[in-house]
Structure 1
Amino acid sequence: MFALGNAVIQYDDYRRQWLAGAVIATMAVWSVFTIQAYSRRRGRRPWVVVADLVVTCALMSMSPLIMSDVQFLLNIPLITTIWACGPAVAAGALGGQVAGAVGGFAIGLSTYLNRGMISVDLVRDVVLLTGAGFVVGMASTTAKRASVRLAQALRTEAATAERERLARSIHDGVLQVLARVRKRGSELGGEAAELAELAGEQEIALRSLVAAAPTESTMDGDADLRPALQLLATPRFQVSTPATQVMLPTATAFELTAVVREALSNVDKHVGPAAKAWVLLEDLGAEVVISVRDDGPGIPEGRLASAEAEGRMGVAKSIRGRVEALRGTLELVTGPGEGTEWEMRVFR
């Protein structure tokens, strides 16, 4: 409307009045198109914004053909006036701060090229256009992040509620049956005792699954390390984790879980089926520490070196190699009759 009002006021002084009318009509048609496009999700595409910017600059370039020299000397607004700021706002809303600032600067540059001289008003307009695009882009980025986090929080809340509902159902049914089988089988002995032991293992595994924290991730690609470690708990392997989330990059959390799984697998293979192990996860802020300790006889001196020389790469690759790839530190504490303890430190 401002551009139309300006054209009406300046119409008699224009050098080519018919061209001014054509440009105003084109601006009206293009405005209808962009409003329809930007109001729909499928219309918010980079090519639409680029086309909007190109059309705006092209219409602005008609100003030297329309306006008289006197109008330029009097600093009369170009034919597009403030209508030209639309692409900068659209670029910021779609592409963020940088896109908005670039769009605003492009409009400002086009204004300078069409006026052919620098003035205080022109510099002010360029700064305002660039700043407006940047601010709109920043607001758009913040709004998108808030929307993603809200959706994530709602999903987490729904998943937690469903998990609690299932936990109650499992506790009232399956866990009580398994506990009854374990108790009764132990009393009967013989083959029933073996079934009782299996039922006990499944009971503990199911309890660990129910008690494990829900798996969560963020828009930055971080994940909570606790759930994956809690699922490694068995009747012989105890896992202790903090009550609060331990967020790490998803790839780091996956690798650390694999290291712990390999360490527990070594307990099974080298210490025996009766061995016990304890996993402790600590969040120290700047670093995450994981300890895996067993009650076995310990690793004889030189045994790891000889195993590596024989081509057994379990410790060298699956444990030490993974920790080194994460730029962490690995410490082994062992000795005859003292068991084995691995301590992994990974810095955030």
Structure 2
Amino acid sequence: MTSPATRDPATPLWRGVVLLRVLTWLFALAVVIGHRAEFERPWLAWAVVAAMGVWSLATSVAYWRASSRWSWLVVLDVVVTTALMLTSPLILSPEQYAAATPLITTVWAAAGPLAAATRFGAGGGVLAGLVVAVGTGFAREKLDLDVARDGVLLCASGLLIGMAATTARRSAEALARALRTEAATAERERLARSIHDSVLQVLARVRRRGLEVGGEAAELAKLAGEQEIALRALVTTEPTWASAGGGDGFSDLRSALQLLATPSVQVSTPAGTVDLAAHVTEELVSVTREALSNVEKHAGPDAHAWVLLEDLGTEVVVSIRDDGPGIPAGRLERAARLGHLGVVESIRGRVRDLGGTATLETGPGTGTEWEVRVPSATRGER
């Protein structure tokens, strides 16, 4: 649950709770005035309605400001509301019970569950509604259709207000993400134009002239070409983050993998973003880097690699394939027996910790292919 912030998206609901509390207290005061001569203990009725007024004032001031909408205060609100309602058997006379006179708190008791729903969401609203409903049953000293009806209305109101509060907060978070993405995109496009007009053109010219001259200049041309491709990928790739929430944010695996493209590594990804928990994206990128590092170390300088990202809905699949000589049969097993667990722990271990699987297909002259599958349970909720 999102803690109250300076600009709580549910602020209109909080102000609605404050207005409801004031109006229902005025109604409760009118009921006490109208039935003052019938109460068993009129002085206690006046004391309770005065306590309701003081509590209404205190909670209204607190709920009006986002900085004081504390969780403990909302829980205490429900407790105080129920406690005041339970004084009804000491106040109402037997004749009033027989005539179904409203409890001393009347509809004022509904404000507590609505505050809980606004603060904690649908679950908190329903739970608070149940607490007040049970209190109503004890205050009425019976369980009849009227008590059941009040309980249903309290729980239903808590459910609806809680859903509205949660939806408001999620919508505000989505809007904030969209604004951050728009700002990042605009800045990236500005940098891309600047870099294209200067650095990229210089690198392209160095690459062309180096190839024309040959010799050592050709090696410089190759390096310039690699940096040109890497720089183009950097300035044209979408931001890798999707939302921020401390260490629990989401990031785009598609964008992160695109940054691994080089002249010898081709990266293919879906058109849309593939948002995962930030630590999952980080681990999958590390796995891919490890696999590409093995290609560079063991497949030779002329080997090429292909990285394919697939979003299957229920799982995310990353495939890393190369056209190298492959791994001879039994080599990995011998390396494991000798304590060389780089591939096993760096790739399979990382993926296993994410709840996924990593399979390797290889053979002499057939290259190698890693297929990494991570379940969609690690996907960020959007």
Q: Pick from 332, 337, 342: which aligns with 1:314?
A: 342
1:140 matched to 2:170? The reply is no
Which residue does 1:169 correspond to in 2? 194
Cα shift at 1:63: 2.2
For 2:63 and 2:375, how far apart are their aligned partners in 1? Answer: 44
CA distance in 1, matches of 2:77, 2:354: 46
Greater Rg over alpha carbons, structure = 1
Give the unaligned 5+ runs of structure 2. 1-25, 377-382
2:255 pairs with 1:230: no
The 1:57/1:345 distance shift into structure 2, 3 A limit, reads: closer
Matches within 5 A, 1:79-98: 79-98=104-123
- 1:289 partnered with 2:317: yes
Aligned to 1:272: 300
**Aligned residue in 2 for 1:2:** 27
- Structure 1's unaligned 5+ residue stretches are none
The answer on 1:156 being equivalent to 2:204 is no
- Is the contact between residue 229 and residue 262 of structure 2 (CA under 8 Å) also seen in structure 1? yes
- Could you tell me how far 1:182 is from its partner in structure 2? 1.9
1:208 matched to 2:233: yes
Given residue 161 of structure 1, which amino acid in structure 2 is its aligned partner? A
Equivalent residue runs for 1:36-115 within 5 Å: 36-115=61-140
Secondary structure of the 1:13 match is coil
Secondary structure, in 3 states, of the residue corresponding to 1:36? helix
Aligned to 2:6: none
Superposed CA deviations along residues 19-58 of structure 1, whole A, max 9, x for unmatched, are: 2222222222211111111111121111111221222223
Q: Which whole-Å CA distance do the structure 1 matches of 2:357 and 2:146 have between them? A: 60
Q: State the TM-score, normalized to the length of structure 2.
A: 0.84
Q: Structure 1 residues 67 and 323, CA, compared in 2 at 3 Å: closer, same or farther?
A: closer
2:58 matched residue in structure 1: 33
Give the 3 Å change call, closer, same or farther, for CA 103–183 of structure 1 in structure 2: same
Any conservation in 1 of the 2:255–2:273 contact (CA below 8 Å)?
Answer: no
Residue type at the aligned position of 1:147: A
Work out the number of aligned pairs and report it.
348
Matched to 1:175, the amino acid is: L
- The amino acid of 1:124's aligned partner reads R
Q: Distance in 2 between matches of 1:284 and 1:61?
A: 56
Partner SS, residue 296 of structure 2: helix
Q: Which residue of 2 aligns with 1:17?
A: 42
Q: Specify which of 120, 145, 164 is matched with residue 145 of structure 2.
A: 120
Distance 1:181 1:102, change over 3 A: same
Q: Within 2, Cα distance between the matches of 1:240 and 1:202?
A: 19
Letter aligned with residue 336 of structure 1: P
Provide closer, same or farther for how the CA distance between residues 60 and 335 of structure 1 changes in structure 2, counting only shifts above 3 A: closer
* Counterpart Cα distance in 2 of 1:250 and 1:53: 38
For residues 57 and 332 of structure 1, the distance between their equivalents in structure 2, rounded to whole angstroms, comes to 63
Deviation at 1:191, TM superposition (A): 4.2
Measured at CA, do residues 61 and 340 of structure 1 come closer, stay the same or move farther in structure 2, by a change above 3 Å? Answer: closer
**Aligned partner of residue 204 in structure 1, secondary structure:** helix
Q: Deviations over 1:43-87 (max 9, x none)?
A: 111111122122222322332232222111111011111011111
Number of the residue aligned with 1:181: 206
Contact 2:324 2:366 in 1 (8 A): yes
Give the alignment's Cα RMSD to 1 decimal: 2.1
SS of aligned partner of 2:194: helix
Identity of aligned residues (%): 59
Q: Give TM-score scaled by structure 1 length.
A: 0.92
- For 1:235 and 1:314, the matched residues in 2 are separated by 26
